[in-house]
């Protein structure tokens, strides 16, 4: 697909109305346009609540008819680009008006042109109004159920900045990434905007991309050498790779064929496929012939903790999504528990910020399954993130604090370690 604003506006519409992931749409864009497309979309999605609620209402007094709503998407893109990117204003305005003409006729072109001209004229004053407004009303509502206003505000700050790139090493003694900062938890952190393809030794399979918080679930298991592990929702395989690199024998289950194909590719690149069995199945129906020393349930969830890397989540998730995922998680953990050998461990993790998908799932599970007990989490570098129940609860702003932004922030994550009584 060429560098076409009409296409970009339709892509934004699909993200916001149909819940299509940005990472999926990126594949339809020509390689040479992909970097620009990604930056425009990420900037627009980060700034969308501000543009929609604080910028455009100044210039649009009448409701745009539903059948011409593509104009609104053109204005979201154009507004974000004029205010927060370096593209020359005349290019933004002309290309947006041309696309509007194609999609909604001369009226559309005039309208988009007039609004964007005013945004450009008042750019300095408008930019000064943006003082940390990134979350949508729905997203705020999810967080308000569990966190005080100050905590929500602190998390919101992280929605406005690009996340650093975190790497997990296959062998910690063999670090090819001289530029990286070694975090207290062992992940290597590279500056935001680092090109993955530019990092050495990718093809040699010495590392993989994994958020520092996501890397904790397996780290907290300690020595897994020789153990039989089941990764029940495994793709794309970040945690499977950690288990294999640690010396476990792993069965990786996932419902998604395409995501399992990515897992397979990743594990082959890392040369870790020797002790791996891959099974495509619904975890709720998976019936192995024997039990496992470790069962890892990295459950499907609202993914609200990943809003820094996936800003569309800020605009697409609702309290209902959290409720729906929590109901599935309840079923999945019951199933996972049946597959743990006596004395074995069950690890439950989600990248959700909602306690309904974390703390509440585990408390309810323990109440109905007395043969499982909580093992308090103990992972170097996360001492201040252990809750009074012994869970790990990482919030984007509480991971590694400090003045250095490179060292700060991680995906929101919840982890619980449970042990089956003998
Ligand atoms: C949070 S992601 C897992 C990430 C993975 N553990 C990693 O570290 O790379 C959740 C996964 O659950 C899978 N999934 C969703 N519902 C499932 C089900 N009923 N059975 C098995 N897998 C499922 C999804 O396809 C998705 O790959």
Kindly state the helix (H) or strand (E) to which residue 92 belongs, with its residue range.
helix 89-121
- Point out the ligand 1 atom lying closest to the alpha carbon of residue 234: 6
Of all protein residues, the one whose alpha carbon is nearest to atom 19 of ligand 1 is: 282
CA 195 vs. chain centroid, Å, equals 18
CB of 254 closer than 6 angstroms to any ligand 1 atom: yes
CB within 8 Å of 419: residues ≥ 6 apart: 343, 344, 345, 346, 372, 373, 375
CB of 300 closer than 6 angstroms to any ligand 1 atom: yes
Contact (Cβ atoms closer than 8 angstroms) between residue 308 and residue 351: no
**CATH number of 269's domain:** 3.40.50.150
Q: Are residues 292 and 415 in the same domain?
A: yes
CB of 236 closer than 6 angstroms to any ligand 1 atom: yes
CB of 396 closer than 6 angstroms to any ligand 1 atom: no
Q: Are residues 105 and 245 in the same domain?
A: no
pLDDT tens across 26-65, in order? 888 888 889 999 999 999 999 999 999 999 999 998 899 9
Of the three residues 129, 160, 177, the one that is the final residue of a domain is 129
pLDDT tens across 325-351, in order? 999 999 999 999 999 999 999 999 999
Distance CA 10, CA 4 (A): 10
Q: Are residues 377 and 233 in the same domain?
A: yes
Of the three residues 95, 129, 163, the one that is the final residue of a domain is 129
Q: Are residues 354 and 233 in the same domain?
A: yes
Of the three residues 129, 156, 190, the one that is the final residue of a domain is 129
CB of 336 closer than 6 angstroms to any ligand 1 atom: no
In 300-402, alpha helices (H): 313-316, 319-338, 359-368
Distance CA 405, CA 350 (A): 24
Number of Cβ atoms within 10 Å of the Cβ of 222: 12
CB of 280 closer than 6 angstroms to any ligand 1 atom: no
Distance 110 CA to ligand 1 centre (A): 47
Of all protein residues, the one whose alpha carbon is nearest to atom 1 of ligand 1 is: 300
In the Cβ-directed half-sphere of 321, how many Cα atoms lie within 13 Å? 20
Kindly state the helix (H) or strand (E) to which residue 346 belongs, with its residue range.
strand 340-350
Distance 232 CA to ligand 1 centre (A): 7
- Pairing mode of beta strands 249-254, 392-394: unpaired
Q: Are residues 319 and 415 in the same domain?
A: yes
CA angle 257/261/267 to nearest 5° reads 140
Q: Into how many domains does the chain fold?
A: 2
CB of 320 closer than 6 angstroms to any ligand 1 atom: no
Q: Please report, to the nearest 10 degrees, the dihedral formed by the alpha carbons of residues 349, 350, 353, 356 taken in order.
A: -80
Of 70, 68, 64, 83, nearest in space to 11 by CA: 70
- Domain membership of residue 153 (yes or no) is no
CB of 267 closer than 6 angstroms to any ligand 1 atom: no
In 187-256, alpha helices (H): 216-219, 238-245
CB within 8 Å of 141: residues ≥ 6 apart: 318, 319
Q: What is the pLDDT of residue 1?
A: 46
Distance CA 407, CA 399 (A): 9
Q: What is the value of pTM for the model shown?
A: 0.94
**CATH number of 77's domain:** 1.10.940.10
- Domain membership of residue 282 (yes or no) is yes
- Domain membership of residue 411 (yes or no) is yes
Q: Are residues 102 and 235 in the same domain?
A: no
- Domain membership of residue 275 (yes or no) is yes
Taking CA atoms, 93 is separated from 90, 100, 119, 295, in Å, by 5, 10, 10, 54
pLDDT tens across 344-381, in order? 999 999 999 999 999 999 999 999 999 999 999 999 88
Q: What is the pLDDT of residue 85?
A: 96
Tell me whether the omega of the peptide bond preceding residue 236 falls within 30 degrees of 0, making it cis: yes
Contact (Cβ atoms closer than 8 angstroms) between residue 372 and residue 346: yes
CB of 331 closer than 6 angstroms to any ligand 1 atom: no
- Domain membership of residue 101 (yes or no) is yes
Q: Are residues 270 and 373 in the same domain?
A: yes
Of all protein residues, the one whose alpha carbon is nearest to atom 2 of ligand 1 is: 300
User: Which stretches of the chain score pLDDT less than 50?
Assistant: 1-2, 402, 405
- Domain membership of residue 155 (yes or no) is no
Secondary structure class of 343 (helix, strand, coil): strand
CB of 256 closer than 6 angstroms to any ligand 1 atom: yes
Kindly state the helix (H) or strand (E) to which residue 223 belongs, with its residue range.
none
Distance 252 CA to ligand 1 centre (A): 10
- Domain membership of residue 169 (yes or no) is no
CB of 234 closer than 6 angstroms to any ligand 1 atom: yes
Of all protein residues, the one whose alpha carbon is nearest to atom 10 of ligand 1 is: 300
Of all protein residues, the one whose alpha carbon is nearest to atom 27 of ligand 1 is: 235
Of 233, 236, 297, 305, the one to substitute when testing ligand 1's pocket (max ligand atoms within 8 A of C-beta) is 233
CB within 8 Å of 195: residues ≥ 6 apart: none
- Domain membership of residue 324 (yes or no) is yes
Distance CA 33, CA 44 (A): 16
Segments forming the whole domain that contains residue 376? 210-420
Q: Are residues 122 and 229 in the same domain?
A: no
């Amino acid at each position: 697909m060429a560098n076409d604003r009409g296409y970009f506006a339709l892509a934004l519409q699909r993200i916001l109305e149909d819940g299509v992931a940005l990472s999926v749409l990126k594949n339809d864009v020509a390689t040479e346009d992909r970097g620009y497309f990604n930056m425009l979309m990420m900037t627009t999605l980060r700034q969308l609540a501000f543009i929609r609620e604080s910028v455009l209402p100044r210039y649009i007094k009448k409701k745009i008819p539903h059948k011409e709503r593509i104009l609104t998407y053109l204005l979201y893109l154009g507004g974000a680009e004029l205010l927060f990117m370096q593209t020359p204003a005349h290019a933004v305005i002309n290309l947006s008006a041309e696309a509007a003409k194609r999609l909604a006729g001369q009226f559309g072109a005039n309208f988009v042109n007039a609004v964007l001209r005013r945004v450009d004229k008042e750019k300095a004053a408008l930019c000064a109004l943006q003082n940390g407004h990134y979350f949508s009303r729905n997203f705020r509502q999810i967080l308000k159920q569990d966190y005080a206003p100050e905590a929500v505000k602190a998390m919101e700050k992280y929605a406005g900045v690009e996340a650093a790139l975190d790497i997990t090493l296959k062998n910690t003694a063999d670090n090819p990434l001289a530029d990286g900062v070694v975090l207290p938890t062992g992940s290597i952190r590279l500056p935001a905007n680092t090109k993955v393809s530019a990092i050495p030794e990718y093809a040699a399979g010495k590392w993989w991309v994994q958020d520092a918080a996501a890397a904790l679930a397996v780290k907290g298991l300690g020595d897994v050498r020789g153990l039989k592990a089941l990764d029940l929702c495994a793709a794309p395989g970040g945690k499977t790779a950690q288990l294999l690199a640690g010396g476990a024998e792993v069965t990786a289950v996932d419902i998604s064929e395409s995501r399992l194909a990515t897992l397979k590719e990743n594990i082959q690149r890392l040369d870790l496929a020797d002790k791996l069995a891959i099974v495509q199945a619904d975890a709720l129906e998976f019936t192995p012939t024997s039990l496992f020393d470790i069962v890892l349930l990295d459950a499907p969830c609202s993914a609200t903790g990943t809003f820094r890397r996936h800003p569309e989540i800020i605009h697409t998730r609702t309290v209902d999504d959290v409720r729906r995922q929590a109901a599935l998680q309840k079923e999945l953990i019951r199933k996972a528990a049946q597959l743990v050998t006596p004395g074995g461990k069950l690890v439950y993790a989600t990248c959700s910020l909602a306690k309904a998908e974390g703390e509440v799932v585990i408390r309810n599970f323990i109440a109905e399954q007395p043969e499982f007990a909580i093992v308090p989490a103990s992972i170097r570098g996360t001492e201040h993130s252990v809750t009074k129940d012994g869970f790990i609860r990482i919030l984007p702003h509480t991971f590694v604090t400090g003045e250095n932004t490179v060292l700060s922030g991680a995906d929101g994550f919840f982890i619980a370690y449970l042990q089956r009584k003998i």
